[in-house]
Amino acid sequence: MYTRYFVALEVLAFAFSPIAAWNTDVHQQIGYMAENFLTSYTSDILGEILESQYNKSIGLAAAWADAYAHTKEGRYSYQWHWIDAHDNPPTYCHVDYKYDCAKGGCIVSAIANQTEILRGCIDNVKNGLLSGGSNMTCSNALKWVTHFVGDIAQPLHSSGLGNGGNLFNVTFGGKRTELHAVWDGEIIYADAGVTVFPNASIHPFMINLVDRINKDSFSVPTSEWLSCTNPNTPQQCALAWARDSNTWTCRYVYKYAYNNTDLLESGYAKGAYPIVELQISKAALRLGTWLNILVGKELNKGSGLVLQRPLS
């Protein structure tokens, strides 16, 4: 059905790389999914960190980082949304932190750094020193962690080829677009049969993914998704997540021809549906688990959930 597609394209300067990964509404849906895996205690603690406008919801706050990176104030965070792997998909895929993470930071260092900041903020809430979203450094740290754990699951945010696929023009559903945009939203929209997801509540399609996570019914068991979820080693885990996503650029994203075809009609999108479902679900479960472990168990009260691995 497809022919092997080998590409060779010089990667442009890092500063011109894209930041968008998952569309705004998809980011929010990942946040709402993750909320299903938070203990009530974790939710209470995190609710004191976020500004009131987010109504104590990481789902509502999940897309903030993209908008902030486009402001003059937040421009410094622009490059934190990806890591440019200098590999050669579909022949060779790998992420090398020392080589691929730029001087100003990348998504791996951002997850590590903001997790450490968030750890101190959580302690301040527990000690009664922080409430009501009064510390913007803390609120931003939580919003960044929420966003970046979602970003890092999008395969083209761990790939430098063609600026994360933005330089590859494609057709999807009769519309001219870029390969990166296809993976940001077009594939999951087509899969779910929607043109947009709601921004204030979880969509039934995502509820079904949550149910599948709870039933452990994906092709890859959830235990493998959570093989590294120790916030005490945030750089190590973020790098493992980046490498996990990066493998898809060899296994699927660049493996098949897409020139002069409509990716929605050719079979490319259909083959990508289970991959995007898997990656979104990984992001949600990892985020919920990461935050639960970071917050820790509530003292003298029953905790409620579950999908939370012990520190190792």
- Tens of pLDDT, residues 189-233: 999 999 999 999 999 999 999 999 999 999 999 999 999 999 999
- DSSP one-letter string for 177-245: EEHHHIIIIIHHHHHHT-S---SSS--HHHHHHHHHHHHT-SSS-HHHHTSS--TTSHHHHHHHHHHHH
300 contacts: CB under 8 Å, gap ≥ 6 = none
Fold designation for 21-295: P1 Nuclease (1.10.575)
Query: pTM for the full model?
Result: 0.90
- Tens of pLDDT, residues 244-301: 999 999 999 999 877 789 999 999 999 999 999 999 999 999 999 999 999 997 643 3
Q: How far apart are CA 148 and CA 111, in angstroms?
A: 6
Beta bridge partners of 92: 88
Residue 303 has pLDDT above 60, yes or no: no
| Structural contact between residues 85 and 246, judged by C-beta atoms closer than 8 angstroms | yes
pLDDT, residue 20, reads: 58
| Structural contact between residues 280 and 153, judged by C-beta atoms closer than 8 angstroms | yes
Lowest mean pLDDT of 2-6, 18-22, 160-164, 275-279, name the range.
2-6
| Residue that the structure tokens 């260092």 belong to | 109
- Tens of pLDDT, residues 77-94: 999 999 999 999 999 999
Provide the CB-side half-sphere exposure for 188 (13 A, CA): 28
| Structural contact between residues 247 and 89, judged by C-beta atoms closer than 8 angstroms | no
Mean pLDDT score of the chain: 90
Grouping H, G, I as helix, E, B as strand and the rest as coil, residue 286 is helix
Going by the DSSP 8-state scheme, the letter that residue 92 receives in this structure is B
Grouping H, G, I as helix, E, B as strand and the rest as coil, residue 169 is strand
* CA 96, 100, 105, 110 torsion-angle sign: negative
**What separation in angstroms does the CA of 183 have from each of 53, 79, 157, 227?**
30, 19, 10, 25
**Percent of the chain residues past pLDDT 90, beyond the cut:** 87
pLDDT, residue 297, reads: 74
Residue 173 has pLDDT above 80, yes or no: yes
pLDDT, residue 260, reads: 85
**Percent of the chain residues past pLDDT 70, beyond the cut:** 88
